[in-house]
Amino acid sequence: MAISAAQDFSTVQNHVSDLMKGRIIVGHSLWLDLKTLLLNHPRKDRRDTSEYMPFKRDGKPTALRNLAYLYLGVKIQEGTHCPVEDARAAMAIYQKHKKEWEISIKQQIGSTKKIKEKKQSKPADNKALKPDHAATLSELMRSKKKNKMKKKQQQTNGQQSLEA
């Protein structure tokens, strides 16, 4: 297909966005594909072989060709780089580790919910805080107010001296 016959960016972007809605996407370094298309997708619905902790070495992503060889026993990306081959390899790796991967996702979502619940249960106003904390907060607020008043006074004095 000639470049002149290619679809425009927004058409492709909308099509890909529609395809992804409500689905789990699988791939390697998905962030790059999403960034290129100026799209976002919920983290809980991404299965990225470059981000899955058991596949990382010293906290760094492992190349897809190495993952394919290690977990599937196949060599990919020899010579010509084929995105279809990459996609198939990432999907096969995911399928092979799907059970434990999904368990880890559920655990991550559960721990995220607990953190959010803790944040929501924190007191929202000064009255619920311990008296010594409330006093400190009110003192800070008073001192901020005084500083604002001083600045206004200095600005007013500066303008009056310029006018004179």
Q: Is the predicted pLDDT of residue 150 greater than 90, yes or no?
A: no
Q: Residue 84's domain spans which residues?
A: 3-121
| Of the listed ranges 18-32, 54-68, 91-105, 136-150, the one predicted with least confidence | 136-150
> Do residue 99 and residue 134 come from a single domain?
no
pLDDT number for residue 5: 81
> Do residue 28 and residue 79 come from a single domain?
yes
CA-wise closest residue to 65 among 73, 77, 54, 57: 77
Q: How many distinct structural domains can be found in the chain?
A: 2
pTM of the model: 0.64
Q: Each residue of 14-68: pLDDT tens digit?
A: 999 999 999 999 999 999 999 999 999 999 999 999 999 999 999 999 999 999 9
CA dist 114 → 45, 50, 107, 119, 129 (Å) = 19, 26, 11, 9, 22
53/78 Cα distance (integer angstroms): 26
> Do residue 13 and residue 89 come from a single domain?
yes
> Do residue 17 and residue 53 come from a single domain?
yes
90/62 Cα distance (integer angstroms): 12
Question: What kind and span of H or E run contains 15?
Answer: helix 9-20
With beta carbons less than 8 A apart as the criterion, state whether 93 and 71 touch. Answer: yes
Q: Output the domain CATH number for residue 70.
A: 3.30.420.10
> Do residue 79 and residue 43 come from a single domain?
yes
> Do residue 58 and residue 133 come from a single domain?
no
> Do residue 133 and residue 117 come from a single domain?
no
Q: Is the predicted pLDDT of residue 133 greater than 50, yes or no?
A: no
> Do residue 116 and residue 130 come from a single domain?
no
